A and B are shown apart, each in its own frame.
Chain A
Amino acid sequence: MAAVVNSFALSGVEGYVVKIETDTIYGQPSVSIVGLGDASVKEAKERLEASIIHVKYEFPKMKIVINLSPGDIKKSGSHFDLAMAIGLLIQSKQINVEEIQNFGFIGELSLNADIRACSGILPMAIEAKNKGINNLIVPKENIREASLVQGINIFGFEKLTEVISFIEGINPYTCLEDSKCEHIIQRPYIFDFQDVQGQDAIIEFIVVAAAGGHNLIMSGAPGCGKSMIAKRIPSILPSMTEKEALEVTKIYSVAGVLKNRGTLITERPFRAPHHNASMNSLVGGGNNAMPGEISLAHNGVLFLDEIAEFNKKTLDALRQPMEDNQVTISRVKYTNVYPSSFMLIAAMNPCTCGYYGQQRCHCSDYEVLKYRQKISGPMLDRIDIQKYVQPVDFMKLSDNSKGASSNELRQKVEFARNIQRERYKNIEGINSNAEMTPALIKEFCVLEGDSIKLLKMAFERFKYSARTYHKFLKVARTFADMDGSRNISRQHIAKALMCRDLDKEQVNMVVI
């Protein structure tokens, strides 16, 4: 009978159990690994042989067949090595383990029988817990990441010999270092809004955007501080819940970009892809359908600097993930679904030369419009707030006290978010004002006569499109929430009317 050992593989950000079956059959000595493994899986046989011989066990001179079940899903990665080695040793009766079905193994072997770190440990550990596999053996370097999952026993080892003596019950496990990770979600942000001076106007609207989950575009001359502001936005978003932190860590684990392996990511991510980014790097894809920037920005901020310079097609590919808060990447044999719920912050120059509105700008109105049309309508449609950022006068800065700190601003944001959480608690899939559907807008954004008059005036003067109407209402709702007000007052609407700077300007443009 073949030996069966548990290991794991990934599909998207979810792990699933892979049963590694090992059999030895009389015949020409050979090793074959079946079960749709890619080259990294197939090459395991060489590592297997070298490391088993290195730890002074015998590599059976028989026909060895290793099957990765389920056999109809493509698998990739070197983390099956450890499970294969254990399976082979059990099958060849060189070691004896009781209740092997309660163990799961993850790890890559070196030729010297060391166990090397792998990516994607966190979702695999979560799956182990879900499937009732109570003992998980992982590379030592990954132990902190794995122990983010509580309720199962995590064992970290450096060498194959240690694993063998442990599972045979010869040596008990000794926990060498403090493997328990910090579960307190602290805020180690280095960027603080206190450093931004003289930009109070835009910060007002940044706070609103953060409070209501609105996407935002900043337009301004080069060097006026757009990027500086954007970098600080994660610091005023509400702290991540443990669930959110786990989601983010899972994605980073799968993408193999988890820094200092094993600590839970507690900072909201901030991703700023360069504008030559390809569609695959942005939405995800590539060889193994890996997560892209939008998933790496999940629960955080995706900052598209110079958004007008992005490839139009690439940008438009973001539309569907922004709508659904997740992205599906399909391959022939499988589809991966990655979450992608992010706040979009974009920045652009107001015109080709970058200095629109200043003396030195000589762009014609046609050129200005042409430049702005590089961002498609449906994309702009998903951005509720458009604001100008003005360069700061350095002489004025020196005599000014510091601006509001991120902490103060975050309190405002959390206050408004709490109101929203309460309001939408019974509505599936809606968490913030920005996500309101037209029906919800009708229900929650009731205006008084005075405010309607104001809104009407704005539409006559600035010739806004009908779509803009809902944006104003949503933003006004957030302004009201920040004041803790049930009703949307005239003042809230007036302030909301200030968040379409680019649209407003088009009325004054002289073009046919």
Chain B
Amino acid sequence: MATYDSDFVYWIWLSQINGIGPVIGKILLNVFKSPQNIYKATKSELVNIKGIGNNTTDIIFSSKSLVKAEEILSKCEKLNIGVLTYGDSLYPIEVKEIKKAPVILYYRGKLIEDSMGVAIVGSRRCSEYGKRLTVEAAEFLAQNNIPVISGMAKGIDGYAHTVCLKADGYTIAILGCGLDICYPKEHIDLMKRIIEKGAVISEYPPGTKPDANHFPMRNRLISAWCRKLLVVEAGEKSGALLTAAFAKEQNRQVIAAPNGIYSRESIGTNKLIKEGAEIYLNPSQLLLDNMRMPRVNHKEENIAPIGDDLTAPIGDDLSILEKIILIKIKDKPMSLNEILLDLKEDRSEVLATISIMELMGKIINVGGIFK
């Protein structure tokens, strides 16, 4: 249950003044300490502050109505949306250090003490490769108790949150709309679960519809809220590139997943690598500096994680037929038809063998193609 202080209304008032952005807001806060004092300040007090001119003073004085702020606050109370002010200790210091960090944030769910984590971003229309990489990375982060930060968009973002939740990790989704709105709609269940186990955060008051102008600001907040940023797949003009650019500006480490140079989904990430981003080769790169002991992936051996055996040498515990099949599909995934055509062995024998191999996790079947 969110609790509401009496001065929240002044915080909201401050954040809602047209023309007063986070930068001026913070100058004012430095002088007056609380937004209530700003509200009560006289004209002469305001004009004398360095960086505040006549214009700004006029703007503040012409918008002294608290009606809108009260409206927003009552909406927050109704929807159980929490208000995180710049003065709050749960507002990570690292985020506050960013010049344009908003004076207040809205959140749903629970915020933990150290919520700074690793952000995973990427394109909405991702490939199988991007999905696999995201699943692996997010699972690893969850197992090492590192919060996964992302934007709850379709594709990579959604996978990152989902996997993290499934692995009992902590995750934060930063949205570009009010917290009473689920965008994209298909993530309504995901949003519910994030609120249960993690938090959704937005700088926009409830009722704000998603808007193209909001997303760059959201991306800035995502990059601010992380210590490392993993860009999985980004097309030429992907928003993930913008996030990466912000991250650089904010001194966060950018890690980019490499891919083939002809892959459309990865033009952006490959470019990031060229420009000096760290190249992502395995999840341990995502560990934060203050913790060097990764928790090893303790998965039962008999149910191998997807694709693990692709790189593993072909073991000795296999039958001849199994070996033949593995060798055949090692270089190039094949459909059941192709396997049947290639092998001269008894057909039902081959079918039964493939079935059992799939069961053991020695091969996997995606859309009918065995890998």
Please judge, given known A-B contacts A362-B125, A362-B126, A504-B365, whether A498 and B351 are in contact too, CB under 8 Å: yes
Q: Please, what's the 1-or-0 string for B346-371, where 1 marks a CB less than 8 Å from any CB in chain A? A: 01110111111011110011111100
Give which listed residue, B193, B337, B361, contacts A200 with CB less than 8 A. B337
A373 at the interface (CB under 8 A from B): no
Whether B340 contacts A200 by the Cβ 8 Å rule is yes
Question: Min CB distance, B124 to chain A, in Å?
Answer: 8
Whether A200 contacts B341 by the Cβ 8 Å rule is yes
Give which listed residue, B128, B347, B364, contacts A204 with CB less than 8 A. B347
A497 at the interface (CB under 8 A from B): yes
Whether B355 contacts A494 by the Cβ 8 Å rule is yes
- Binding stretch for chain A, among B100-108, B153-161, B201-209, B271-279: B153-161
Whether A498 contacts B354 by the Cβ 8 Å rule is yes
Please judge, given known A-B contacts A201-B337, A494-B356, A510-B163, whether A370 and B367 are in contact too, CB under 8 Å: no
Whether A358 contacts B159 by the Cβ 8 Å rule is no
Question: Min CB distance, A334 to chain B, in Å?
Answer: 48
Q: Total interface residues on A, using CB and 8 Å?
A: 47
| B334, closest chain A residue (CB) | A390
A469-512 CB contacts (< 8 Å) to partner B: 479, 483, 490-491, 494-495, 497-498, 501, 504-505, 508, 510-512
Complex-state Cα separation, A389 to B353, whole angstroms: 19
CB neighbours (8 Å) of A510 from chain B are 131, 135, 158-159, 162-163
CB neighbours (8 Å) of A370 from chain B are 186
- Binding stretch for chain B, among A21-29, A230-238, A392-400: A392-400
CB neighbours (8 Å) of B339 from chain A are 201
Complex-state Cα separation, A511 to B354, whole angstroms: 27
CB neighbours (8 Å) of A392 from chain B are 337
Complex-state Cα separation, A171 to B144, whole angstroms: 102
CB neighbours (8 Å) of B341 from chain A are 198, 200, 396, 400
Q: Total interface residues on B, using CB and 8 Å?
A: 48
Complex-state Cα separation, A361 to B367, whole angstroms: 11
A367 at the interface (CB under 8 A from B): yes
Whether A201 contacts B336 by the Cβ 8 Å rule is yes
Whether B336 contacts A390 by the Cβ 8 Å rule is yes
| A205, closest chain B residue (CB) | B351
Give which listed residue, B135, B303, B366, contacts A505 with CB less than 8 A. B366
A151-210 CB contacts (< 8 Å) to partner B: 198-202, 204
Give which listed residue, B135, B189, B337, contacts A199 with CB less than 8 A. B337
B24 at the interface (CB under 8 A from A): no
Question: Min CB distance, A376 to chain B, in Å?
Answer: 20
Whether B366 contacts A357 by the Cβ 8 Å rule is yes
Whether A497 contacts B367 by the Cβ 8 Å rule is no
Complex-state Cα separation, A365 to B189, whole angstroms: 14
CB neighbours (8 Å) of A198 from chain B are 337, 341
Complex-state Cα separation, A504 to B363, whole angstroms: 13
Whether B367 contacts A495 by the Cβ 8 Å rule is no
Question: Min CB distance, A220 to chain B, in Å?
Answer: 7
A36-50 CB contacts (< 8 Å) to partner B: none
Whether A511 contacts B162 by the Cβ 8 Å rule is yes
Question: Min CB distance, A460 to chain B, in Å?
Answer: 8
Please judge, given known A-B contacts A220-B368, A366-B186, A400-B341, whether A201 and B335 are in contact too, CB under 8 Å: yes
Question: Min CB distance, A428 to chain B, in Å?
Answer: 33
CB neighbours (8 Å) of B124 from chain A are 364
Please judge, given known A-B contacts A510-B159, A510-B163, whether A350 and B367 are in contact too, CB under 8 Å: yes
Complex-state Cα separation, A118 to B352, whole angstroms: 55
CB neighbours (8 Å) of A220 from chain B are 368
CB neighbours (8 Å) of B128 from chain A are 357, 359, 361
B249 at the interface (CB under 8 A from A): no
Complex-state Cα separation, A457 to B357, whole angstroms: 12
Whether B352 contacts A495 by the Cβ 8 Å rule is yes
| B186, closest chain A residue (CB) | A366
Complex-state Cα separation, A457 to B365, whole angstroms: 17
Complex-state Cα separation, A479 to B349, whole angstroms: 12
Residues of A within 8 A of B (CB): 198-202, 204, 219-220, 350, 356-359, 361-362, 364-367, 370, 388-390, 392-393, 396, 400, 454, 457-458, 460-461, 479, 483, 490-491, 494-495, 497-498, 501, 504-505, 508, 510-512
Other A-B pairs, 4, CB within 8 Å; known A458-B359, A505-B367, A510-B159: A201-B339, A359-B128, A390-B368, A512-B165
Give the top 8 A-B pairs by smallest Cβ distance, nearest first.
Answer: A357-B367, A388-B368, A390-B335, A494-B352, A362-B125, A201-B336, A494-B355, A491-B352
